[in-house]
């Protein structure tokens, strides 16, 4: 009998993994023999290595498109190997950095290709990936804020609908996220790192710095509207499955989520982490959001209650589109076809 953490992972993570680039047969084969969550990272890394090898072989033969596809997939698998695996940080980081390397190797061969960027931030840099739609000079830009457990290596499925509609995407890792998690702790005032990213966009001559949208997923669904409340350079905002008040949600969070937040907020104890969680709140802030806002959540979300989305919709002062998916899980990844293309259409209209 698999331990409780493995059972939880299989039950709740499968839709997201498959929606974001994992082959269904791979998910089932990797997880069906797992008995202990301690073996999670190694099992996923082994399958990631298989896809990486396919990519390296294709590259050696000059089959660059195939290489990009395989290496991109390998990056996603390595990411999910390290996913919430904070109880073994050396193993987690090894898988994480393999994922970084695979997506970096894939970028030049994707359609459209991508570029690694490093954004100046308080004496350090925030890593990101910029992709621009083909054939469009100075496209509008969608800045993409990640969640507690997502990284830019998971980004291809999120980026694709915007790129297909003529918008550039800049997915970045802020404090406590991805590569930045090791040196920078999670911070609730996400408008600070977001401003650094917007500054960077506006300094580039190949992007339209007057047409900037903000997008956020899961905890990023808090970060994006938080940034929009303070930075009026953001013309439109998409919030996917974000909490209104992370501290208020704390007691209902899964154990793995709470522990990941503790580690990535650089707290020593769960009590310290609970206190840090209280700093992530739109209380007294949501009314400052004046740009158009598109909010998505699932009614069956076990991490962020749908009531949080409804409250954000009530308190924001700008035009609001609220999409609540009755049979949707967290971020409604089990019904991604209901909101991915539709939210990208909405963003295109806002930035035209």
pLDDT at 142 over 90: yes
pTM for the predicted model, two decimal places: 0.97
pLDDT at 33 over 90: no
Q: CA of 58: how far to CAs of 35, 139, 244, 291, 318, in Å?
A: 34, 32, 45, 45, 49
- CA 334/CA 168 separation, integer angstroms: 26
The mean pLDDT of 154-170, rounded to a whole number, is 98
- 145 band by pLDDT with thresholds 50, 70 and 90: very high
Answer for the pair 53, 77: CB distance below 8 angstroms, yes or no: no
pLDDT at 18 over 80: yes
SS (HEC) of the chain: CCCHHHHHHHHHHHHHHHHCCCCHHHHHHHHHCCCCHHHHHHHHHHHHHHHHHHHHHHHHCCCHHHHHHHHHHHHHHHHHHHCCCCCCHHHHHHHHHHHHHHHHHHHCCCCCCEEEEEEEECCEEEEEEEECCCCCCCCCEEEEECCCCCCHHHCHHHHHHHHHCCCEEEEECCCCCHHHHHCCCCCCCCHHHHHHHHHHHHHCCCCCCCCEEEEEECCHHHHHHHHHHHCCCEEEEEEECCCCEHHHHHHHCCHHHHHHHHHHCCCCCHHHHHHHHCCCECCCCHHHCCCCEEEEEECCCCCCCHHHHHHHHHHCCCCEEEEEECCCCHHHHHHHHHCHHHHHHHHHHHHC
The mean pLDDT of 285-312, rounded to a whole number, is 97
Question: What is the tens place of the pLDDT at every residue in 188-201?
Answer: 999 999 999 999 99
Phi–psi pair at 206, nearest 5 degrees: -95, 5
Q: Given the DSSP bridges, would you call strands 234-240 and 293-298 parallel, antiparallel or unpaired?
A: parallel
pLDDT for 101: 98
- 232 band by pLDDT with thresholds 50, 70 and 90: very high
The mean pLDDT of 224-234, rounded to a whole number, is 98
pLDDT for 14: 95
Candidates 82, 218, 265, 343; catalytic one: 218
User: Could you give the percent of the chain with pLDDT greater than 90?
Assistant: 96
CB half-sphere exposure, 7, CA atoms < 13 A: 4
Answer for the pair 46, 26: CB distance below 8 angstroms, yes or no: no
pLDDT at 1 over 80: no
pLDDT for 286: 98
Listed residue (318, 178, 323, 175) closest to 241, CA to CA: 323
Structure tokens at 316: 């924001």
Q: Which structural domains are found in the chain, ordered by start?
A: 1-110 (1.20.1440.110), 113-352 (3.40.50.1820)
- CA 46/CA 44 separation, integer angstroms: 5
Question: What is the tens place of the pLDDT at every residue in 64-107?
Answer: 999 999 999 999 999 999 999 999 999 999 999 999 999 999 99
pLDDT for 181: 98
Listed residue (190, 215, 172, 170) closest to 265, CA to CA: 190
* End-to-end Cα, the chain, rounded Å: 54
Listed residue (218, 216, 215) closest to 84, CA to CA: 218
Residue 218 falls in the annotated catalytic set: yes
For the chain, the helix, strand and coil percentages under 3-state DSSP, each to the nearest 5: 55, 15, 30
pLDDT at 3 over 90: no
pLDDT for 4: 87
Listed residue (298, 251, 314, 255) closest to 277, CA to CA: 251
pLDDT for 5: 87
């Amino acid at each position: 009998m698999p331990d409780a953490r493995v059972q939880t992972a299989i039950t709740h993570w499968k839709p997201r993994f498959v929606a974001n680039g994992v082959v269904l047969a791979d998910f089932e084969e990797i997880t069906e023999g797992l008995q202990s969550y301690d073996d999670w990272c190694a099992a996923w890394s082994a399958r990631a290595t298989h896809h990486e090898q396919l990519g390296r072989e294709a590259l050696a033969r000059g089959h660059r498109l195939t290489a990009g596809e395989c290496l991109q997939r390998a990056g996603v698998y390595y990411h999910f190997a390290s996913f919430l695996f904070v109880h073994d940080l050396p193993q987690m980081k090894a898988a994480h950095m393999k994922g970084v390397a695979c997506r970096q190797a894939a970028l030049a061969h994707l359609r459209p290709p991508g570029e690694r960027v490093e954004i100046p931030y308080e004496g350090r840099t925030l890593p990101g990936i910029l992709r621009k739609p083909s054939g469009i000079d100075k496209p509008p830009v969608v800045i993409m804020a990640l969640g507690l457990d997502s990284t830019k290596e998971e980004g291809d499925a999120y980026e694709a609908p915007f790129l297909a509609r003529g918008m550039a995407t800049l997915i970045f890792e802020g404090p406590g996220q991805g590569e930045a998690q090791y040196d920078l702790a999670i911070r609730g005032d996400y408008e600070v790192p977001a401003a650094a990213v917007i500054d960077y966009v506006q300094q580039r001559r190949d992007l339209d710095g007057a047409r900037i949208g903000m997008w956020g997923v899961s905890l990023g669904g808090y970060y994006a509207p938080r940034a929009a409340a303070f930075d009026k350079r953001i013309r439109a905002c998409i919030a996917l499955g974000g909490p209104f008040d992370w501290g208020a949600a704390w007691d209902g969070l899964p154990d793995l989520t709470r522990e990941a937040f503790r580690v990535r907020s650089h707290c020593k104890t769960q009590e310290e982490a609970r206190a840090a969680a209280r700093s992530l709140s739109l209380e007294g802030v949501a009314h400052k959001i004046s740009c158009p806002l598109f909010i998505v959540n699932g009614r069956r979300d076990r991490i962020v209650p749908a009531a949080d989305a409804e409250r954000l919709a009530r308190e924001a002062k700008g035009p609001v589109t609220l999409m609540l998916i009755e049979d949707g899980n967290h971020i409604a990844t089990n019904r991604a076809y209901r909101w991915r293309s539709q939210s990208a259409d909405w963003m295109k209209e806002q930035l035209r």
